[in-house]
Amino acid sequence: MVSEVTEGVKVTVLTEYQPDYSSPRQAHFVFTYKVVIENHSENTIKLLRRHWLIYDSNNTVREVEGEGVVGQQPVLEPGEVHEYVSGCNLRTNLGKMAGTYLMERVLDGRQFRVIIPEFTLIVPYRLN
């Protein structure tokens, strides 16, 4: 689990390898990640966009950018939390992801970026 706070917005990420959906012989490794976004600021905020960089250990980098998260653009009042689960597939058994969310302060429309902390995607047997 990793966490990062930007302008009062805390982002925490937990990852899990999905062996039932993976096929190591075909270089297909599936991971899920749960993201918890906590609004510790004094303002109501809206998540507008996401931007991810996904790294395989074979030096492949993919970039993913788009509106919202899993089809939503959540609005968080001060003290509220939004959680979602998503997934990623890699061609290697080790990789990492990092990125940013584009947020908007609802009161005045001010936009700002929130850091998604870098996290590792690793199959459990690599840890031995």
Q: What is the pLDDT of residues 45-102, one digit of tens each?
A: 999 999 999 999 999 999 999 999 999 999 999 999 999 999 999 999 999 999 999 9
At 107, the pLDDT band (50, 70, 90 cuts) reads: very high
At 128, the pLDDT band (50, 70, 90 cuts) reads: low
In whole angstroms, give the CA distance from residue 30 to residue 80.
30
Task: Name 105's bridge partners.
Answer: 45
At 127, the pLDDT band (50, 70, 90 cuts) reads: confident
In whole angstroms, give the CA distance from residue 128 to residue 125.
6
At 126, the pLDDT band (50, 70, 90 cuts) reads: confident
In whole angstroms, give the CA distance from residue 89 to residue 107.
38
Instruction: Please check the confidence at residue 11 and state whether its pLDDT lies above 90.
Output: yes
At 125, the pLDDT band (50, 70, 90 cuts) reads: confident
In whole angstroms, give the CA distance from residue 120 to residue 101.
19
